[in-house]
Structure 1
């Protein structure tokens, strides 16, 4: 489907965050692809009319072995975590939380939010750093104009603009706004694989047609990527990239480990409220309980072999 050089991933609808769940479109992980670089999770949501849907209300929940990346197009989310961070997630500003050995956080859309719209992304930590201490970072990247597009680089480097936010593997994360009818060729790292998530508009990536909510994947080996906005209005996309991760990971609920036993241990520690995850102060409600484990060992995930 599409150009043979581009794999097109389509999302599935998933409820997010317990009994007051909003619906998100999940593109990663899926059976055909677990990771793009170290990017291992991509939820895309909205535009969500909060007055009708209730917005986002995700009670305190745990993470291990990953970093969360919050990026909004509209609305505002209140973030609280067990590091003591109390921050607003706003459009055009990255909030990056490092889960490492263990962290807990909550996410709630603010009372002033009328339309909630954005992406929630996860980055798998490499084995050497997956027990790193919890941390939190914030950055508001400046807009950068290239021919026919405006970029905001929230991680890594693109169009000679570099984010100061630290990561544990080389990564690229950028919002790319395409002018109506624009053709834009971006210089990229040929060691990276890339994924282009389309938020609005119809876009081609290296000749492959992508519609809103599609994610187009390209393998390493390209020094440029050509994007074309085939719609009459502006198109908005998110470009992700990184070198192939090269490690098998075990993903379950909000945890990333290397074995079934890693997951079992983390779940047990969350359920007994151990110090590993800490406490989230200020959330007006109970934390999320862990779901029951499956009746079989949780198998590692890896990408298909490169052809």
Structure 2
């Protein structure tokens, strides 16, 4: 998915370990156009830019495709990151400049590695009436960000979620990393965790987690409590390194759904602007210039006309600077 903001903010960041639970409220972002589909964005924000290598998180839907037209994101570029598409409902058609043409379906992980550069498009199909899911980005470390691009697909099986007594209180689909005895067949450049959680009404799921990881719980449904802290729909609860157990309570009378993100605090500072991840202003400016002149770095996406692409917004008038973050 593309960042469609007309004036995207620059972000320079590294790890920000924290104690306790921090609640990140979403901001509403339109994916272009007056009738465009809108998404709830929790990463990056002014106070929290990353969770492990996870550097971007959009939550959307359930979106009636007949009202908004669904998702129609024309060819656009990426550098230095991986995109992760995870659906609860609907279907999205993915095409990229590496020649990959794939359908994104509920419960199936699709990870695209941009490496040194790639372009792609994402369009919801006419076969579905509702679109509902998350779009995530992962920053690549310096040793991998100049590599070749690639695509991975994995269908995540459902495994049991249990409470403190060992009783089954829901289910989990691990799409990156491993948890609860389930290990995703996805290769990442840094240690990561990604999973969909489904928790029974009134139940409290207890997950054994890597204490070297920082974690985030992105809620899809009405309410939940993470470590005793309540969050609402589309909000994200952040828990810093140092915890070996994560408790997620569903206080409602309906099943709760959330996406769990985790990873080792990212060791490198990055600059993220629009759809690019780099290390400084000059890199970002070069990526933008190459995309505007349609250089070979990004290739072309099949199935689209020569004039069907998303131009990059103008850079700010000053050099891209660090975004100062409030530390909890």
TM-score scaled by structure 1? 0.96
Aligned mates of 1:293, 1:49 — CA distance in 2: 34
Matches within 5 A, 1:143-182: 143-146=158-161, 147-182=168-203
Matched position secondary structure for 2:135: strand
Matches within 5 A, 1:245-264: 245-264=266-285
Once the two structures are superposed, what CA deviation does each residue of 1:264-289 show, in whole Å capped at 9, x if it has no partner?
Answer: 11011111111100010013660111
Unaligned residue ranges in structure 1 (runs of 5+): none
Matched position secondary structure for 1:265: helix
Aligned mates of 2:322, 2:301 — CA distance in 1: 30
Once the two structures are superposed, what CA deviation does each residue of 1:118-171 show, in whole Å capped at 9, x if it has no partner?
Answer: 000000001111111110011001000122020000000110111110000000
* Paired position in structure 2 for 1:298: 320
- Does residue 83 of the first structure (1) align with residue 98 of the second (2)? yes
- Does residue 33 of the first structure (1) align with residue 48 of the second (2)? yes
Aligned-residue RMSD, C-alpha = 1.4
Return structure 1 stretches of 4+ with deviation > 4 angstroms. 17-20, 301-305
Aligned mates of 1:223, 1:271 — CA distance in 2: 46
1:113 deviates by: 1.4
TM-score scaled by structure 2? 0.90
* Paired position in structure 1 for 2:36: 21
* Paired position in structure 2 for 1:117: 132
Once the two structures are superposed, what CA deviation does each residue of 1:237-291 show, in whole Å capped at 9, x if it has no partner?
Answer: 0000001112111111100000000111101111111110001001366011111
Matched position secondary structure for 1:72: strand
1:100 deviates by: 1.0
Matched position secondary structure for 1:51: helix
* Paired position in structure 1 for 2:151: 136
CA distance 1:27–1:303, change in 2 (3 Å): same
Q: Which has the higher contact order (CA 8 A, sep 6+)?
A: 2
Matched position secondary structure for 2:220: strand
Matched position secondary structure for 1:245: coil
Range 56-65 or range 138-147, more displaced:
138-147
Matches within 5 A, 1:86-101: 86-101=101-116
Unaligned residue ranges in structure 2 (runs of 5+): 1-18, 162-167
The one of 197, 200, 212 equivalent to 2:218 is 197
- Does residue 276 of the first structure (1) align with residue 297 of the second (2)? yes
Matched position secondary structure for 1:129: coil
Is the 8 Å Cα contact of residues 12 and 26 (structure 1) preserved in structure 2? yes
CA distance 1:16–1:232, change in 2 (3 Å): same
